[in-house]
Amino acid sequence: MGAERAWVDGVEVKKGEAMAAAVVPLLLTIPQAASVLAVGRTTVYELIGAGDLEAVHIGRSVRVPVDALRSFVARRRVSVTGYLHRRAQRLVASRPFPCLTSRRK
């Protein structure tokens, strides 16, 4: 008799492998979180220290919840029009338009 088979995402695999493929981690190590965000480990520690990224402490280990990474990216996501609008506001605030200010005294 052959090994029991199961289907995962349309691919036939052994039943034990299917169980392993179905397990999604809830927590990531700091290097894993850094890899997901495409930043360095130090940056992840700084984000945690600043309170921008949630962390879970288990004994002496520090882990980052996958959901915390998703919410962090969602909070940081900026639309192009929003970016351009804020940039224009900063330019206007730093350099008033010449037609609105009088240089003659």
Distance CA 45, CA 30 (A): 8
Q: Which two tokens stand for residue 11?
A: 């691919």
Is residue 80 over pLDDT 80? no
Q: Which two tokens stand for residue 65?
A: 């919840």
Per-residue pLDDT, 76: 87
Question: Taking residues 10-26, what's their average pLDDT?
Answer: 64
On whether the CB atoms of residues 28 and 61 are closer than 8 A, the answer is no
The pLDDT tens digits for 4-14 are 766 655 556 66
Q: Compute the Cα dihedral for 23, 32, 27, 79 and give only its sign.
A: negative
| Average pLDDT of the residues of the chain | 79
Per-residue pLDDT, 54: 96
Name the phi and psi angles at 41, rounded to 5. Answer: -60, -40
What percent of the chain is predicted at pLDDT more than 90? 46
Is residue 21 over pLDDT 60? no
